Amino acid sequence: MQFSSLTPFPLFFDYMAYSEETYVRKEAGGIDSTVDLPSAEVIQKIAAADKEIDDATGKTEGWDGTEYDYPRVQEISKILAAASCRLRFEPEKAVAQREYGLMLLEQLITEGGEADIVVDKGDFLTFPKNPTARWFGGRYEQTGIPEVTVDPDSIYEQS
């Protein structure tokens, strides 16, 4: 069994984090390492975010740095870890940040073709995109306002 200096729990493979502590701290609003949040806790949150990404994408061995979507995985890891770090300081922003990270993760999964999401787009409801739609008429026909015509020569005459 191998122990990593990055995480407080044993690992069964060489662990390489997808994001770095300095970038996570910056994304979390610039949390100071010495005062507010110890480095070990930030690294643990990065490991948790990475595990969440691996579980969601089905990558049991983790993502390889040569894969096409690896930069997106790094960004998602940074956002999810930063949201976990920010939770105790700014809960509202942390929830929004986590939702954003999960949305990016969902996009990563669906663009890879592994998700079972079906988007059904209905027909257009209005004319002219839908020629069989009910026509409600123009502005003047609907409200009953009479159309007023003005002679351009008469608008300058004083009475």
Tens digit of pLDDT per residue, the chain (159 long)? 344 444 444 444 456 789 998 899 889 888 877 677 888 888 999 999 999 999 998 888 888 888 888 999 999 999 999 999 999 888 899 999 999 999 999 999 887 644 455 556 666 666 667 667 665 555 555 555 556 677 777 766 665
Two tokens at 135? Answer: 């026509």
Model pTM above 0.85: no
What is the sign of the dihedral through the CA atoms of 38, 42, 47 and 52?
positive
Task: Output the pLDDT for position 7.
Answer: 47
pLDDT at residue 2, rounded to an integer: 41
Buried b / exposed e over 100-131, threshold 16 CB at 10 Å, is ebbebbeebbeeeeeeeeeeeeeeeeeeeeee
Alpha-carbon distance 63 to 25, whole Å?
Answer: 22
Q: What is the pLDDT of residue 112?
A: 62
Single out the residue of 76, 89, 91 nearest to residue 24, CA to CA. 76
Q: What is the pLDDT of residue 105?
A: 92
pLDDT of residue 147: 66
Retrieve residue 68's tokens: 């096409």
Residue 10: per-residue pLDDT: 46
Q: What is the pLDDT of residue 44?
A: 92
Q: What's the pLDDT at 64?
A: 86
| Cα–Cα distance for residue pair 25/32, rounded to 1 Å | 8
Give me the pLDDT at residue 61, please: 84
Report how far residue 76's alpha carbon sits from residue 104's, in angstroms, rounded to the nearest whole number: 7
State the Cα–Cα distance between residues 22 and 140, nearest whole angstrom. 63
CA distances from 62 to 55, 65, 71, 156 (A): 9, 10, 14, 79
